[in-house]
Amino acid sequence: MRRLASLALLLLLASCSGLKYIPEGQKLYTGSKVIIKSPEKLSNKSALQTELASVVAPKPNGSILGLRPKLYFWHLGVGKKKGLGKFFADKFGEAPVLLKDVKITATEGLITNRLYNNGFFKGTVAHEVKAKDKTAQVDYTATTGKPYTIKEIHFPEGDTTVNAAVRATQPGTLLKVGDAYNLTTLTNERVRIDNVLKNQGYFYFNPDYILFQVDSTLHDKVNVYLRVKGSAPAIAVRPYWLDVVKLNTNYILTDTTTRPPILYRKYLYYPDEKVFKASAITRATFLYPDSLYRRKRRDQTISRLMSLNTFKFVEIRLKPSLAGDSADRARLDADVLMTQLKKKSLRADLQLVSKSNGFTGPGLTVSFRNRSALRGGEQLVVNAVASTETQTGSGSGGVGLTSYELGLNAQLLIPRLVVPNLPLLDVHLPNSDFQPRTTIGAGFRLVTRANYFTQNFFNLNYGYSWKTKITNEQEIKPIDITYVQFTPTDQFIPILEARPFLKSAFQQQFILASSYRYTYNQQVLEQRRQQIYFSGQVEGSGNLAQGLASSLGGTKNDNGKYTIGGQEYSQYLKFDFEFREYYRISPNPASGNRIVARFQAGVGLPSGNSDVLPYPKQYGIGGPNSVRAFAARGVGPGTYRPQNATQDLNSFYDQVGDIRLEGNVEYRQDLIPYLKGAVFLDAGNIWLANDDQARPGGKFSSSTFLKQLAVGAGVGLRVDVQFFVIRFDLAFPLQAPYGTPTSQTGRFNLAIGYPF
């Protein structure tokens, strides 16, 4: 029986190799190699190899470990017009690629052409066919010779307007004396010049009007002469100025606008005063009547208007103006057409709430949005939130906690910086494509932890955010006030009395914070193979209040703390940094195969009026977005761990700290459409800035902290349908801060979205 099974397997493998389906006298083409021979070391050999290999055709039949099952399926459909064999052939089959299908001479010509494009004007190409019984491979050898380099670069002469404009771009040229001749560089140079001219009024110019004449008669040198084609049309070689700029804020495809426009700051504005004031639209418009046309200003106008988040579409139509001017300048008229989103909307979301502190449960959010609340593009967003959550694991896996939450918050997003004019800052940010914002927020939140406490959170904040580039964002919150009414249960009071640090963390819940955050994010550059993300924030609280209280001779309460309205306030400085790197394994931008790494560091330094950070500002570690082999807030601080059932039950409050270090590395792999796999390694811990006798081993020490990292590793599956990701991770503890983990059992994590 075993022999029969082995024989059947051998026959199956032989058929899957596909060679039995090759016609008599023909050979299966199995691919080609491109070999580069050069008299000297090439700095760009890898890129040249890729470019030369890209022109080799045809592509051979795909194979896996020498097997070609697609040829087998193709054979099932030979001579059939219908039936199961025809179905499999059409669905899974692939016709054999034969040696006779390879156009060797044409391929040699293409490789030679690519050598010329890279400056190897004396390059030659030869080939060799390596034949076996049923297969053949074609190898090409490209002998480059010495590359020609640029000796002189000549920009156009003459006093015509366009020649002068092109000549003025020379300081930024991509062409450098001594560089190897390269056709791609010349092509990019044409595009660069066109971009410069488009921002100097040359609306009808395009890169095809630039001509390069190359003198290669010199020995291994070339002279490059750049010219504007004489055949370029007259409209392309003169700059254009803007004449009439129309702003229509309520455009639809069947628009038959009959309402008369008003003249506002030289714009023809078609009013929709129920939604917008004219000033709100002109602030975001950078095409100015009687100004030189600049493509950058057109793109900036579209970006700014779209970032108001009040329009579905923005289109700018430019056409020659019928009227000239006294200076004989060519003119363009601009129609800025804006299609509005619905001004008001109401939305309800029923969702599974999954938080980094381990609480999960159903939640309901009802949102109201007014996209132009004050007729200036201001967005008013009001959210009502209700949820009930249960902690999925506490500490080492003890009894979870139940939480109930109700909240109401509102934000007013103003599309400008509401600040006085400053000498060093133009608040309109005229060189940015992105709309700056002023944010005013207020909110109330009721949180009840069953059998422990009730908290009423009151928050008021005011801040600014802006971008100078698509990758750079800055945010300043000069005012971020949080006031908390804290009511412990009879069960929680003894715990607080026995834990002075915990009691202090909950009592000092009047937070007068200010913060600054800088974010650099290359993930928006989707074509980049390597992407970097960095976020850094500094936050301070109570320092101004402390200074005023000290200078004015304020009095202290029985705890030796200054108060505002009888409530102790927090005083601290807090620094947070996060760095991520995403590296795509494949050059294909659509590939999800990548290595991702993250490093996080945070430190909170209580001072003056505080001995410990307020509880909402403390760090926890572990859980589905952190060190996944441990429960949320199930690690640290330091080497501390719960020693009995009571401590285990209260570990959610104990296992927090003032300092955090965490690192993660993850390999992500596409499996099948919409399903990805992952292998990961996590490490991290938290520590206290000051000693707490109730949590021995919790204080940070520079000599031992590396030995106190919790380490875990695991595998995961992710269902990724682009707009929604469900993540399943199974992680195993490798090391605990106190040594060998108490349990080697894997921890299953279910979460929404990627961890980083």
The yes-or-no verdict on residue 632 having pLDDT over 50 is yes
Range of lowest pLDDT (119-128, 445-454, 497-506, 661-670): 497-506
Q: Calculate mean pLDDT across residues 117-143.
A: 93
User: Residue 189: which pLDDT band, with cuts at 50, 70 and 90?
Assistant: very high
Rounded Cα gap, residues 131 and 19, in angstroms: 14
Q: By percentage, how much of the chain surpasses pLDDT 90?
A: 54
Q: Calculate mean pLDDT across residues 9-29.
A: 68
**Which pLDDT belongs to residue 636?**
83
Alpha-carbon separation of residue 169 from 154, 173, 468 (angstroms): 12, 7, 24
CB 708 within 8 A of CB 685: yes
**Which pLDDT belongs to residue 602?**
96
Rounded Cα gap, residues 310 and 237, in angstroms: 38
CB 407 within 8 A of CB 312: no
Rounded Cα gap, residues 483 and 444, in angstroms: 10
Helix (H) or strand (E) holding 682: strand 675-687
Q: Calculate mean pLDDT across residues 420-428.
A: 74
The yes-or-no verdict on residue 458 having pLDDT over 60 is yes
Strands 221-228 and 267-270: unpaired
Highest mean pLDDT (candidates 13-22, 186-195, 449-458, 520-529): 186-195
Query: How many other C-beta atoms can be found within 10 angstroms of the C-beta atom of residue 721?
Result: 10
Per-residue pLDDT of 57-86, as tens digits, reads 999 988 877 788 888 888 888 878 888 888
Give 623's DSSP letter: S
Q: Which of 464, 465, 469, 474 is nearest to 433 (CA)?
A: 469
Q: Which of 29, 252, 249, 37 is nearest to 140 (CA)?
A: 37
**Which pLDDT belongs to residue 153?**
96
**Which pLDDT belongs to residue 666?**
97
Residue entry with tokens 């100078």: 468
Q: Which amino acid is at 479?
A: I
**Distance from the Cα of residue 277 to its chain's centroid:** 34
**Which pLDDT belongs to residue 508?**
63
**Which pLDDT belongs to residue 5?**
44
Beta bridge partners of residue 211, listed in sequence order = 227
**Which pLDDT belongs to residue 553?**
65
Rounded Cα gap, residues 303 and 179, in angstroms: 38
**Which pLDDT belongs to residue 110?**
95
Per-residue pLDDT of 26-41, as tens digits, reads 899 999 999 999 988 8
Per-residue pLDDT of 412-422, as tens digits, reads 999 999 987 76
Rounded Cα gap, residues 545 and 610, in angstroms: 13
Query: And the tokens for 636?
Result: 């640290």
Q: Please tell me whether the peptide bond between 587 and the residue prior to it is cis, using omega within 30 degrees of 0.
A: no
Rounded Cα gap, residues 497 and 694, in angstroms: 12
Strand runs labelled E in 355-452? 359-370, 379-391, 402-414, 437-449
Per-residue pLDDT of 36-59, as tens digits, reads 999 888 888 888 999 999 999 999
User: Residue 627: which pLDDT band, with cuts at 50, 70 and 90?
Assistant: very high
The yes-or-no verdict on residue 706 having pLDDT over 50 is yes
3-state secondary structure of 267: strand
Torsion of CA 454, 456, 461, 467, to 10 degrees: 40
DSSP code string of 691-703: --TTSTT-B--TT
**Which pLDDT belongs to residue 14?**
44
**Which pLDDT belongs to residue 4?**
42
Give 345's DSSP letter: E
Put the strands of the sheet holding 267-270 in their side by side order: 262-264, 267-270, 240-248, 330-340, 311-320
User: Residue 368: which pLDDT band, with cuts at 50, 70 and 90?
Assistant: very high
Residue entry with tokens 């059409």: 90
Q: Which of 531, 145, 177 is nearest to 185 (CA)?
A: 177
The yes-or-no verdict on residue 345 having pLDDT over 70 is yes
Q: Calculate mean pLDDT across residues 624-648.
A: 82
Q: Calculate mean pLDDT across residues 558-573.
A: 82
Q: Which of 162, 233, 225, 158 is nearest to 194 (CA)?
A: 162
- For residue 291, is it left (φ>0), alpha (ψ between -120 and 50) or beta? beta
CB 133 within 8 A of CB 170: no
CB burial of 114-148 (b: ≥16 within 10 Å; e: otherwise) equals: bbebbbbbebebeeeeeeeeebbbbebebbbbbbb
User: Residue 273: which pLDDT band, with cuts at 50, 70 and 90?
Assistant: confident
**Which pLDDT belongs to residue 392?**
54
**Which pLDDT belongs to residue 10?**
39
CB burial of 379-394 (b: ≥16 within 10 Å; e: otherwise) equals: bbbbbebebbbebbbb
**Which pLDDT belongs to residue 166?**
97
Burial class (CB in 10 A: 0-12, 13-18, 19+), 735: middle
User: Residue 560: which pLDDT band, with cuts at 50, 70 and 90?
Assistant: confident
Give 569's DSSP letter: B
**Which pLDDT belongs to residue 401?**
65
The yes-or-no verdict on residue 654 having pLDDT over 60 is yes
**Which pLDDT belongs to residue 144?**
93
User: Residue 394: which pLDDT band, with cuts at 50, 70 and 90?
Assistant: very low
Per-residue pLDDT of 735-756, as tens digits, reads 999 888 877 888 888 888 899 8
**Which pLDDT belongs to residue 337?**
95
Range of lowest pLDDT (330-344, 486-500, 675-689): 486-500
What residues contact residue 105 under an 8 Å CB cut-off, 6+ apart? none
Give 220's DSSP letter: S
- Please state, rounded to an integer, the average pLDDT across all residues of the chain: 87
CA angle (404 as vertex; 569, 361 as ends), nearest 5: 125
**Which pLDDT belongs to residue 550?**
72
Torsion of CA 298, 302, 307, 310, to 10 degrees: 140
Strand runs labelled E in 144-282? 149-154, 210-215, 221-228, 240-248, 262-264, 267-270
**Distance from the Cα of residue 459 to its chain's centroid:** 30
Q: Which amino acid is at 543?
A: N
Q: By percentage, how much of the chain surpasses pLDDT 70?
A: 91
Helices (H) and strands (E) in the chain, counts: 14, 29
**Which pLDDT belongs to residue 1?**
46
The yes-or-no verdict on residue 497 having pLDDT over 70 is yes
- Give 744 or 165, the one with higher predicted confidence: 165
The yes-or-no verdict on residue 537 having pLDDT over 60 is yes
Alpha-carbon separation of residue 400 from 395, 450, 489, 565, 752 (angstroms): 9, 10, 17, 36, 21
The yes-or-no verdict on residue 251 having pLDDT over 50 is yes
CB 566 within 8 A of CB 556: no
Q: Which amino acid is at 656?
A: V
User: Residue 652: which pLDDT band, with cuts at 50, 70 and 90?
Assistant: low
**Which pLDDT belongs to residue 76?**
84
**Which pLDDT belongs to residue 642?**
78
Rounded Cα gap, residues 378 and 373, in angstroms: 6
**Which pLDDT belongs to residue 354?**
55
